[in-house]
Structure 1
Amino acid sequence: MSEKVMIVSGGASGLGLAAAIKFAQQGYDIVLVDIDKQKGEKAAEQIQKMGRQALFCECNIADGLRIREVAQQTKEQFGRADALINNAGLELRGSILQCTEEEWERTYAINLKGIYHMANAFVPMMIEQGKGAVINTGSILGFRTVPERAAYSSSKGAIDTLTRSMALDLAPHHIRVNCVAPGAIDTPLLRGSINDSPDPAATEKILGSKSVFNRMGTAEEVANVMYFLASDEASFVTGATYFVDGGWSIL
């Protein structure tokens, strides 16, 4: 059985893969949960080449039954769950008038209800162990506003409140729950949003200007904070949201 296991949703690319690599470097075995089978299997191979065990599970985190199957598979193969990174997310453009009901429900099913499903499946293992850490991925757009992100921004804002509620409820079990709120991070998700904009070059320039460093951040910079929050170095940190935004939140 493994000594330390990290589970990450959206682990096939972007922030999730960066987190998986960071945790693997620190001796964790990794469970990658993602809907992209090709990228997920490639990511698992990358982790295995680092000398760690890696399990890829093709899964839509809006499917609670499938997530419970993944949790059972994790328990059978690794025997434990030490860190849970609720990272998978969906960003769709649209104001409250432009966003369709289907788009709204899909966004919330992934960004918010997905955390519910993942926590319900994996936190019981942490309770059995008497210890664990959960990190939810929010967004600066849960706290700052840009045009045409009604569903995305509101769902990410709710993660901050959910994090604090989870932290309070799970404290008696010695499980800490925190949130990272990335700013403009150069990931495939943000690249897709940039490319979908009317003027991608101008959009990228604007995003860089949202940081006091005049650049976008990297996935590795977010992963470093995720690892800190999961580690014993953050043993007295719970219910907090850490902005990894290059200073966007102070502008």
Structure 2
Amino acid sequence: MTITHDFTGQTVVITGAASGIGAASATAFAAAGASVWVLDVDAGRGEAVAADIVSGGGRARFLRCDVTGDADVEHALGVVLAEDGGIDVAYCNAGIGWIKPVSTTEPDEWRRVLDIDLTGAFLVARRAFLAMRPRRSGVILFTGSPHGYRTMAETSAYAAAKAGIGGLMRALALEAAPHGIRVNSLLPGAIDTPALRAEAELSGDAEDAVRRWGAVRPLGRIGRAEEVADLALFLASPAASFITGAELLVDGGAMAAQPAGLATVAPK
């Protein structure tokens, strides 16, 4: 059975939508009929994403928005409300990665990661919730990460921020439920995005790094941004009408796997 999602007449706001998962989600929601607002600090790429959607027959507009500033967030969402009259889906996706041990991470670096990845998500979700509450309907999505549960020594700030997303999402889901608003998180694993490719470059052989990251996953590959976008559409649709306060993995089975060195039963 094929499920077709229809967002005709709905307004969707996506942060960090100039590339990667955000851009793929903006394209997918627009293809499903939504009026999409592409929010990002990268005006060049953000405008290009919106233009590509429009050239393909969809509806999209770009707004420059720095999610770390509440005034910036309030202004951007105010423009959306003035133009479209409401917000049906807010996808708090903006974020940056971070690879540095605790011992060498400077306080300003720590604050920058948490400001973008966690506080930025809070500011956007809060404003979206306030806009949705009088209408008693809406969906708020977050981009979390498996790093909120299992991480590495070099990802302290990122792991802390993504663990915080889980707590924020659950608390908001409980607060929003009586108002008919659903709140969930997507937890992408290794997804083929510009950010992942940039991280792979640090290894010296990016293509080999990507192959290795895919090979250790049960499905034998890394994911595509479009696969995460598909889950975002599902969670925002009536097909997920009884799902709130949930974290859904998109990681090729990585979190289900016991690390080989910790296996207690010999493989047959």
Q: Structure 2 length normalisation: TM-score?
A: 0.90
Q: CA deviation at 1:15?
A: 0.1
Distance 1:39 1:202 in 2: 27
Task: For residue 61 of structure 2, give the secondary structure of its aligned residue in structure 1.
Answer: strand
Superposed CA offset, 1:91-113 (max 9, x none): 12111112111110000000000
Identical aligned residues as a percent: 36
Gaps (5+ residues) in structure 1?
none
Q: Residue 18 of structure 1 is aligned with which of 20, 24, 32?
A: 24
Distance 2:256 2:174 in 1: 27
Q: CA deviation at 1:47?
A: 1.6
The residue that corresponds to 2:200 in the other structure is 194
Q: Residue 151 of structure 2 is aligned with which of 145, 164, 171?
A: 145
Following TM superposition, where does structure 1 have runs of at least 4 consecutive aligned residues deviating by more than 6 angstroms?
Answer: none
Q: CA deviation at 1:154?
A: 1.3
Superposed CA offset, 1:220-250 (max 9, x none): 0000001100001000000000000000110
Alignment of 1:34-113 (within 5 A): 34-113=40-119
Q: Contact conserved, 1:104 with 1:151, CA < 8 A, in 2?
A: yes
Distance 1:141 1:79 in 2: 37
Superposed CA offset, 1:22-48 (max 9, x none): 111111000111011100111111121
Task: For residue 123 of structure 1, give the secondary structure of its aligned residue in structure 2.
Answer: helix
Distance 1:40 1:124 in 2: 25
Residue 210 to residue 161, structure 1, CA distance change in 2 (3 Å)? farther
**CA RMSD in angstroms, aligned pairs only:** 1.3
Q: Contact conserved, 1:11 with 1:20, CA < 8 A, in 2?
A: yes
Q: CA deviation at 1:201?
A: 4.4
Q: CA deviation at 1:197?
A: 3.2
Distance 1:78 1:50 in 2: 21
Distance 2:188 2:181 in 1: 23
Distance 1:99 1:201 in 2: 28
Q: Contact conserved, 1:92 with 1:103, CA < 8 A, in 2?
A: no
Distance 2:31 2:25 in 1: 10
Q: Contact conserved, 1:184 with 1:210, CA < 8 A, in 2?
A: no
**Count of aligned pairs:** 250
Task: For residue 102 of structure 2, give the secondary structure of its aligned residue in structure 1.
Answer: coil
Distance 2:116 2:178 in 1: 28
Distance 1:199 1:157 in 2: 30
Task: For residue 36 of structure 2, give the secondary structure of its aligned residue in structure 1.
Answer: strand
The residue that corresponds to 1:133 in the other structure is 139
Superposed CA offset, 1:17-76 (max 9, x none): 100111111110001110111001111111212333212111111011011000110011
The structure with more radius of gyration = 2
- 1:183 equivalent to 2:189? Answer yes
Residue 146 to residue 207, structure 1, CA distance change in 2 (3 Å)? farther
Distance 2:232 2:142 in 1: 9
**Match for 1:134: what amino acid?**
I
- 1:219 equivalent to 2:225? Answer yes
Could you tell which deviates more after superposition, 78-87 or 195-204? Answer: 195-204
Q: CA deviation at 1:129?
A: 1.7
Q: CA deviation at 1:202?
A: 4.4
Distance 2:251 2:206 in 1: 20
Q: Contact conserved, 2:30 with 2:60, CA < 8 A, in 1?
A: no
Distance 1:199 1:14 in 2: 21
Task: For residue 246 of structure 1, give the secondary structure of its aligned residue in structure 2.
Answer: coil
